[in-house]
Structure 1
Amino acid sequence: MTAASAQPRAPVAVTRSLEQAVPPVFRPLLRAYVLGYISSTTPRLLTLLLITLSLRRTNIDEKPVDAFLPSLVRILRGGLELQRFSTFCAALAGGSTLLQAHSIAKINCTDSIILVEIGTIEVRILLITIQLARCMSTFIAAWFSLRLLQSKKSEAFIDHVSEATPTGAPLRPIQFAGRTMDLTLFAVTRAVDVIVGELWAQRKSRRAAAGQWTMIEKLASTLTDSSIFASSCALIMWAWVYTPDRLPPSYNKWIKSAAAVDQRLLTALRRVRFGEIKYGLETGQAHVLQGMCKDYNLPLDYGDPVKSIPYPCEIVHMGVGKSCEKHALSRWVRSFLWAFSTYLPLNLILTLRTPSKKRFRHALESSARSSAFLGTFIAVYYYGICLARTRIGPRILGTSIPRRQQIDSGICIGSGCAFCGWSVLIEAAGRRKELGLFVAPRALATLFPRRYVLENQWRETLAFAISTAVVFTCVAERPERVRGVFGKLLRKVLTT
């Protein structure tokens, strides 16, 4: 082996030697803490760096630039606080493995004497007992680790209400729960994926052995991940238009950047749905879209719901022209270029670890495919809206004013939501799996309030603890059942 080929492995060897110095039972705790710290601080550090570089280029203000070092220290120090994600990860993984080691050791010590004389049934009972001990250990660790995160107060989850008293009306703080909802829904999604996947695998095994595995069942297996992604995206895009507060702020902002839509158009769509704008009736809402008409050099009458029934698709096209097909194509091109400029640098950075022509070509192909997927997603979303508004919807439902109102108050958006997610078929099968499991928790979040009364927090904690116990137990018993990159990462973290 040459010196050049051995050099990249040096950091790995150092890391392994440091880990060897830690007792095996404490290694999951250490790995989880380091991973949690890196994952929680890295996005903040990148954001700080980008903001600082942007301010230096524009020379807007020198004070934020001068505050870079204090902000850096605050981010690095904040990740070490007790009620942070890093401590949560350590408490979850470390607590689970430590409790498991203690419980299983007691079981083995108790039963080791009689193992020689027991039969198959007794061995199975012993294995079930060990599995239950492992499951309960994870349940306890998950419960208390999530409670640790939930104990940190946030101003976003505190309302101040006035309370009438003889001496005045002071403000009384009311604390709400929901800070950890995204984390809980992620755990629930993974647990459901594990359980359903195992049940389906057993069904497949039985029916294949009996020669009864049909083409429909095979097709269902193939399209499962795509179906999860498509249905999840339908919920997410619907919420993004009508109830954006049900999405995480960062995710909402990313969709807004990718969709590149005029906010006045979204405002009009919401007002049509909730009855503030009605075709053929003067409700004083013409100004909402007339500003857009002026900016895109369109007749002002296009934005008047009394004179334009329905709003012309040209407003939706935002200056591209009358053709819905031309607008969809332009959306695809713009979205492809926007995504490619993001994906390619990231993929090229990953190739720097072991650069080669093959890896460089793979980075180009992967970036192009992912960009084509995102471009198709956005183009199909917009074209699905146009299909419902002008191509298909009026032919089926009719062209009367009530029907036009019905189409624009939800059917058109529902059409775009229903079609856009199937663009994931462009991606490779492995990528579809990751994307489906990524968006499913966010889709579930649109069905639950992001804030709820504190008295009901135990329900969320219980759901998280049960789900985590299912996933961790499966990692120990059937590791291949926990799919994707998360499964591989979890197996690496929990290995003692």
Structure 2
Amino acid sequence: EKRTRGMVIAQQMFVRGLQGTYNAFSTNNNISIPHGDVMVFSLCCAQIMYAFLLRPDTIPQSYNAWIQTASRVPLQSVIIHRSLFRNGVFDPANLQTVMNRKTTTAANATKLFERLSLAATTGDYGGPFVPCDAVHPWMDSCVLAPVDRFASVFRWMFPIYGALHLVPAVMFKRKTFFEKPWEMLGRAAWGTVRSSAFLGTFVAIYQAFFCTNHNLATYLANHRSTLKLRQLIISRPMYWIGGLLSGLSLFVEAKRRRGELAMYVLPKGLESAWVMARGKGYAFGTGNFGESLLCAIGMGMVMVSFNHPEHLSGLVRRVLYQLVGPN
């Protein structure tokens, strides 16, 4: 396989193996963690959102681009934020691009112009975060921005999730679909609404956290007695906490889908954490054999779990049934 595709396969095999191993362990030892899928999802989202804003080099470029699209934030604003946090400066051309957007309000354009002028004349680029005026330039209110973001993401994802919920019902449950068409359509519609609302809620939570955090930091900037509190608010862990809180949006999604969504983000979160740990010398390099080793370990766990296939997800069971037959 190609190296990039090999990594994807290895990651999926490994997390599916982990899933089966955990399910077997929890069943054998009568251990149950309430909302474990939401916990895994939230922890992974914390790492992923931290990586997106501060360490985009630790997640795949395609995934980074997808988050950028889903966030509905101008790309230049994200670039400004990364530059401010790391270097304390930003490229004026990026801020100028945000100012010149047709949807930028007059009030936000004025504030951004003042920020740009201050940087040009005094060298003061402001705090180590992009101003809210550049995050949602089409809306003046930070209070209403999460609502707007929810509606935007909901509309964007509705046709996509609609196809994901409707097509399987027609293709794989054809007999039931023709016997009870309205019931199946109703389920697909409700599933589409929940899934779209889930992602919209995720983005809205992070937007609300981002604006609240940095508005508070701006307010505290003029109070020297609260310097330590302000430093805490704008510190790296805050971006991780924002992702953690956003992960709670999984409660909006149907319970049967939560595990699959957790398994979807787990490889990305683990990859980002591993790359960061390796950069700090906390993890070893795997050379050219890392993907093969990871896939082998994952396949081993999957096949052990296949002795009791109920411990594996339905998707993995169906694939294995096609490849090796029922156990």
Normalised by the length of structure 1, the TM-score is 0.54
Q: What is the 5 A alignment of 1:302-341?
A: 302-303=115-116, 304=118, 306=124, 308=126, 312-321=131-140, 323-341=141-159
1:370 aligned to 2:195?
yes
Secondary structure at the aligned position of 1:325 is classed as coil
* Aligned with 1:289 (options 91, 95, 118): 95
Structure 1 residue runs of 5 or longer lacking an equivalent are 1-148, 153-176, 205-216, 278-283
Aligned residues: 300
Displacement of 1:307 after TM fit? 7.0
1:301 aligned to 2:114?
yes
Amino acid in structure 2 at the alignment position of 1:260: R
Q: What is the 5 A alignment of 1:108-119?
A: none
Amino acid in structure 2 at the alignment position of 1:267: I
* Aligned with 1:256 (options 68, 79, 84): 68
Structure 2 residue runs of 5 or longer lacking an equivalent are none
1:443 aligned to 2:269?
yes
- Tell me the alpha carbon deviations over residues 231-253 of structure 1, each in whole angstroms, 9 at most, x when there is no partner: 11111122222232332333222
Normalised by the length of structure 2, the TM-score is 0.79
Provide the rounded CA distance (Å) in 2 between the counterparts of 1:248 and 1:307: 30
Amino acid in structure 2 at the alignment position of 1:424: L
- Tell me the alpha carbon deviations over residues 424-471 of structure 1, each in whole angstroms, 9 at most, x when there is no partner: 011121100110111101211213459999982334423321220221
Q: Relative to structure 1, is the Cα distance of residues 364 and 238 closer, same or farther in structure 2, using a 3 angstrom cutoff?
A: same
1:385 aligned to 2:210?
yes
Secondary structure at the aligned position of 1:257 is classed as helix
Residue number in structure 2 paired with 1:187: 13
Provide the rounded CA distance (Å) in 2 between the counterparts of 1:265 and 1:371: 25
Residue number in structure 2 paired with 1:488: 318
Residue number in structure 2 paired with 1:214: none
RMSD: 3.3
* Aligned with 2:239 (options 413, 432, 441): 413
Residue number in structure 2 paired with 1:269: 81
Tell me, yes or no, if the aligned pair for 2:50 and 2:243 is still in contact at 8 Å: yes
Secondary structure at the aligned position of 2:273 is classed as coil
Q: Relative to structure 1, is the Cα distance of residues 398 and 443 closer, same or farther in structure 2, using a 3 angstrom cutoff?
A: farther
1:242 aligned to 2:54?
yes
Of structures 1 and 2, the one scoring higher in RCO (CA 8 A, sep 6+) is 2
- Look at both structures and tell me which one has the larger radius of gyration over its CA atoms: 1
Displacement of 1:357 after TM fit? 0.6
1:344 aligned to 2:162?
yes
Amino acid in structure 2 at the alignment position of 1:482: L
Q: Relative to structure 1, is the Cα distance of residues 320 and 254 closer, same or farther in structure 2, using a 3 angstrom cutoff?
A: same
Provide the rounded CA distance (Å) in 2 between the counterparts of 1:444 and 1:376: 24
Tell me, yes or no, if the aligned pair for 1:290 and 1:301 is still in contact at 8 Å: no
Displacement of 1:259 after TM fit? 1.3
Secondary structure at the aligned position of 1:318 is classed as coil
Tell me, yes or no, if the aligned pair for 1:186 and 1:441 is still in contact at 8 Å: yes
Displacement of 1:331 after TM fit? 0.5
* Aligned with 1:427 (options 253, 260, 267): 253
Displacement of 1:423 after TM fit? 0.1
- Tell me the alpha carbon deviations over residues 245-268 of structure 1, each in whole angstroms, 9 at most, x when there is no partner: 332333222222211211111111
